Amino acid sequence: MKHRRIVVCGAQRSGTNIAAAITAHENDLPLFNERDLGYSSCAITPDEHSVLLDFMNSTDEFVLQCPSLNVFLPTLNERLTKPVFIIWVFRSFNEVRQSRQRVNWSGEEKELKKFKRYWKHIAAKCVDTVAMANILYYDAVRYATPSKVVDYSSLKNSKLWKTERSALKIGET
């Protein structure tokens, strides 16, 4: 069965943009970015994510790049009328942290606040949001969310991959 409703998540700076672009291209699906729907990755809360849920409930075919939903993965499909298939982009913690430094990513404080608000038991165990996002993904798998892990390094084989990466900014990876 070919999935036609796909959400691409992962820790911020893990490669969700390129993974979503490749997935949309390979499956001939329309690509949407959470920013297209008015969200900044770090700002979303349960009170603010109704637009994303409405989009997913009213759209039959899509690839949605949306690390905003990391915090909600364990219960995401419970909130939808039709389930989505989740692709989780895994990239080594060190590479994610280096990418964040390279682009001067400023979302750690907001993201940390969101995780602590909704997942206090996880936040207490983790040094940063990279580790927290990965723990939430594995909770989602444990709760039988239909999903697949894609290793960031495997994306390099795509013709959409940009070889020179040092100058890429947020949203271009």
All domains of the chain in start order, with CATH: 5-153 (3.40.50.300)
Task: Please report, to the nearest 10 degrees, the dihedral formed by the alpha carbons of residues 162, 88, 40, 35 taken in order.
Answer: 60
Q: What string of pLDDT tens digits covers the 173 residues of the chain?
A: 489 999 998 888 889 999 999 999 999 999 999 888 877 655 555 556 778 888 999 999 999 998 878 777 878 888 899 999 999 898 888 898 898 888 888 888 877 777 777 777 766 777 788 888 777 777 766 666 778 889 999 998 888 877 655 555 566 55
Whole-model pTM: value is: 0.84
* Residue 150 β-bridge partners: 89
- Position 139 scores a pLDDT of 72
Residue 31 region by backbone torsions, left for phi larger than 0, else alpha for psi between -120 and 50, else beta: beta
Residue 8 · residue 166 · CB < 8 Å: no
Give the SS3 label for residue 89. Answer: strand
